[in-house]
Homo-oligomer: A and B are copies of this chain.
Amino acid sequence: MHHLSFASDYQEGCHSAVMELMLATNRQQHEGYGTDAICESARARIREACSCPNAAVHFLSGGTQTNVCVLDALLVPWEGVLAATTGHVSTHEAGAIERNGHKVIELAGEQGKLLPARVREAAASWAEDANHDHMVQPGVVYISQPTEYGTVYTRSELEGLRAACDDYGMRLYVDGARLAYALACDVNDVTLRDLARLADAFYIGGTKCGALLGEAVVFPNPNTCPRFFTLAKQHGALLAKGWLLGMQFEALFANDLYLHVGEPAIQAANAMRQMLVDRGYRLAFDSPTNQVFVELDDAVATELAKHVDYSFWEKPDSSHTIVRFASSWATTPEDVRALAQALDEV
């Protein structure tokens, strides 16, 4: 009766380590709004994992909410955010950033990545325009690590973005909704420390990475937004039971779990990629993390959908469909075998 699903990476509850901590503390009393001891402990663990002892760390509920709050903290009213056209803030947040007053300046990316040269071009274009006082000023560069296409920035690319930000008075913000899957990925060379060193703000994704819910915002410089607590409150983003969010990260950052929690997803995705190539399917993007993009004949896609949930990605032509299979921390080798079998039976 259970339909095999690779539709997304937020379909299961939480990692057993998280659930155990929740169970153990369920009837304990905690201070509200993230002022409790568990949140403090989780913050300390995150600061240590980032080698950033003074970082301000805040726990929020979800990705769009986090993007709204952090961009609100980083931007002044007349500034906008540079993002790839494929960035989550550009397309799938229902205009939340604009609702909050800021233009998303969409730039062409490369397989989901916004590269330094493109950022420099956009910033220079504003800076050199004689009419720029009538234009939205680029204030923040938004990127996702990994990207919405499953690709990862290299450390060198991040350094390039940092340099571009420095040269043009911009800030760098990294959306890490799926960060565990970049950290667990073979080709990745960007660590939490690199993010803390290079970004003005980033978030460590929980919802898609083993937590029941929650995202951990890190401002490496604690003076970046000293009143972030009140700012989040204004956006309805403070949970009374803030300790619930802290607890997720307390569990995920004990014993370096966060660095490994994505490994089953990467193994599953790698196995899927190999399994697909073995069967002669064409991978649509070179994506090393937990998202697998493959081109199927429309007939195959339709038939497969009866047995397996996946995401429609796009139509490259009139007879093919690119689909996405997402694995997660909860995906098992059996799931991959079941997918292979379903494909073989199509």
A residues apposed to B, CB below 8 Å:
2-3, 5, 7-8, 10-14, 19, 22-23, 25-33, 61-69, 72, 76-78, 80, 91-96, 98-104, 106, 130-131, 133-137, 207-208, 212-213, 227, 229-231, 233-241, 244, 312, 330
Determine which of B19, B98, B240 lies in contact with A23 in the assembled complex, contact meaning CB atoms within 8 Å.
Answer: B19
A125 to chain B, nearest CB (A): 11
Q: Which residue of B lies closest to A131 (CB)?
A: B92
Task: State the CA gap A25–B3 with chains docked (Å).
Answer: 15
Residues A98 and B103 in contact, CB atoms below 8 Å apart: yes
Residues A65 and B98 in contact, CB atoms below 8 Å apart: no
Residues B11 and A236 in contact, CB atoms below 8 Å apart: no
Task: State the CA gap A101–B62 with chains docked (Å).
Answer: 21
Residues A231 and B78 in contact, CB atoms below 8 Å apart: yes
Task: State the CA gap A105–B136 with chains docked (Å).
Answer: 15
Q: Which residue of B lies closest to A14 (CB)?
A: B26
9 tightest Cβ-Cβ pairs between the two chains A and B: A65-B236, A13-B26, A95-B136, A94-B233, A11-B29, A10-B240, A98-B103, A98-B98, A64-B236
For A67, what are the chain B residues with a Cβ–Cβ distance below 8 Å?
236
A and B contact pairs by CB, cutoff 8 A, 9 listed? A12-B28, A19-B26, A23-B23, A64-B236, A94-B230, A94-B234, A98-B101, A98-B102, A212-B241
With A64-B233, A68-B235 known, 20 other A-B pairs at CB within 8 A are A8-B32, A10-B240, A13-B26, A23-B23, A61-B61, A62-B236, A65-B237, A67-B236, A76-B227, A77-B234, A78-B233, A80-B98, A91-B135, A93-B236, A94-B233, A94-B234, A99-B234, A137-B230, A208-B240, A236-B236
**Residue from the set A14, A64, A100, A241 with the largest chain B CB neighbour count within 10 Å:** A241
For A12, what are the chain B residues with a Cβ–Cβ distance below 8 Å?
26-30
Task: State the CA gap A11–B27 with chains docked (Å).
Answer: 9
Residues B66 and A236 in contact, CB atoms below 8 Å apart: yes
